[in-house]
Structure 1
Amino acid sequence: MKTLFKFKSKRQRYNFDTAAATPLEPEVFKAMKPFFETDFGNPSSIHREGVIAAKAMRQAREQVAGCLSVKAEEIIFTSGGTEANNLALLGVARGYEQQFRRPGRIVAVATEHRSVLAPLSCLASQGWEVEILPVNKLGEINLDQFKRALKRPTTLVSVSYVNNEIGTVFPLRELAKLIRLERKRSQQAYPLFHTDACQAPRFFDLDVRKLGVDMMTLNGSKIYGPKGSGLLYCRQGISLQPQILGGGQNHSQRSGTENVPALVGLSTALSLATKQASVSNQLVTAARDYLVARLKEQGSGLIFHGALTNRSPNNINFTVPGMEAEWLVIQLDALGFATSTGSACSTNHDHDQHVLRALYQSAAPAESSVRLSLDKEVTVAVADKFLAALDLIMKRPS
Structure 2
Amino acid sequence: MDKYIYMDNAATTPVKKEVLDEMIPYFTEKYGNPSSVYSLGSISKRAMEDSREKIAKIINADKREMFFTGGGSEADNWAIKGIAYGNKQKGNHIITTKIEHHAVLHTCDYLQKNGFDITYLDVDEYGMISLDELKEAITDRTILISIMFANNEIGTIQPIKEIGEIAKERKIYFHTDAVQAIGNIKIDVKELNIDLMSISAHKFYGPKGIGALYIKQGVKIDPLISGGGQERNRRAGTENVAAIVGMGKAIELAYEDLEEHNDRLTKLRDSLIKKIEDNIPYVRLNGHPTKRLPGNVNICFRFIEGESLLLSLDMEKIAGSSGSACTSGSLDPSHVLLAIGLPHEIAHGSLRLSLGDFNTEEEIDFVVEKLVKIVDRLRQMSPLYEKIKEEQ
TM-score tier after normalising by the smaller chain length: over 0.9
2:175 counterpart SS class: strand
Instruction: Select the residue among 270, 279, 293 that pairs with 2:260.
Output: 279
Q: Shift of the alpha carbon at 1:329?
A: 0.6
Matches within 5 A, 1:196-345: 196-342=177-323
Q: Which amino acid aligns with 1:11?
A: D
Higher mean Cα deviation, 226-235 or 271-280? 271-280
CA-CA distance at 1:299 after TM superposition:
3.5
Question: CA 1:32–1:157 in structure 2 vs 1: closer, same or farther (change >3 Å)?
Answer: same
Q: What residue is the counterpart of 1:163 in the other structure?
A: 151
8 Å CA contact 2:324, 2:347 repeated in 1: no
**Rounded Cα–Cα distance in structure 2 between residues aligned with 1:268 and 1:215:** 22
- Aligned residue-pair number: 378
Q: 2:166 — aligned with what?
A: 178
In the TM superposition, residue 153 of structure 1 has moved relative to its aligned partner by 3.4
Q: Hey, what's the Cα distance between the residues in 1 that align with 2:280 and 2:54?
A: 48
Residue 27 (structure 2) aligns with: 36
Find the counterpart in structure 2 of residue 14 from structure 1.
Answer: 5
CA contact (8 A) 2:99 2:151 kept: yes
Alpha-carbon distance in structure 1 between the residues aligned to 2:267 and 2:357: 11
1:210-265 Cα deviation digits (max 9, x unpaired):
22100110001110000001000000111111111111101111100000001111
Q: Could you tell me how far 1:277 is from its partner in structure 2? A: 1.9
Structure 1 residues 351 and 229, CA gap change in structure 2 (3 angstroms):
farther
Structure 1, gaps ≥5 residues long: 1-9, 184-190
User: The residue matched to 1:365 in structure 2 has which SS?
Assistant: helix
Residue 125 of structure 1, aligned match among 113, 116, 121: 113
Contact 1:164-1:343 at 8 Å conserved across structures: no
* Secondary structure, counterpart of 1:107 in structure 2: strand
- TM superposition score normalised by structure 2: 0.92
User: Which of 44, 47, 62 is 2:38 aligned to?
Assistant: 47
Give, in angstroms, the shift of residue 45 of structure 1.
Answer: 1.1
What is residue 154 of structure 1 aligned with on the other side? 142
Give, in whole Å, the separation in 2 of the partners of 1:46 and 1:274.
34
Q: What displacement does 1:75 show?
A: 0.6
* 1:343 Cα offset (Å): 8.5
Are residue 378 (structure 1) and residue 388 (structure 2) matched?
no
Q: Which consecutive residues of structure 2, in runs of 5 or more, have no partner in the other structure?
A: 382-392
Match of 2:67 in 1: 76
- One-letter identity of the residue aligned with 2:122: P
The answer to whether the 8 Å contact 1:194/1:214 transfers is yes
Structure 2 counterpart SS, 1:77: strand
Secondary structure class of the residue paired with 2:14:
coil
1:319, 1:370 within 8 Å by CA — same for their partners in 2? yes
Deviation for aligned residue 1:132: 0.4
* Counterpart Cα distance in 2 of 1:302 and 1:173: 33
Given the alignment of the two structures, is residue 192 of structure 1 paired with residue 183 of structure 2, yes or no?
A: no
Aligned residues of 1:165 and 1:343 also touching (Cα < 8 A):
no
Retained in 1: the 8 A contact 2:324–2:348? Answer: no
What's the RMSD between the two structures over aligned residues? 1.8
Taking a change above 3 Å as real, the CA distance of residues 115 and 343 of structure 1, as seen in their structure-2 partners, is farther
Q: Distance in 2 between matches of 1:182 and 1:103?
A: 13
Q: Offset at 1:367?
A: 2.3
- The letter for the 1-side match of 2:135 is K
Distance 1:301 1:319 in 2: 8
Using the aligned pairs only, state the percent identity.
36
Structure 1: distance between partners of 2:165 and 2:23: 39
Change (3 A) 1:343 1:75: farther
- Tell me the residue number matched to 2:388: none
Query: Within 2, Cα distance between the matches of 1:45 and 1:348?
Result: 45
Q: What secondary structure sits across from 1:255 in the alignment?
A: coil
Deviations 1:284-326 (A, max 9, x none): 0011111111111113211221112111111111111111001
Alignment match of 2:350 (pick from 364, 369, 374):
369
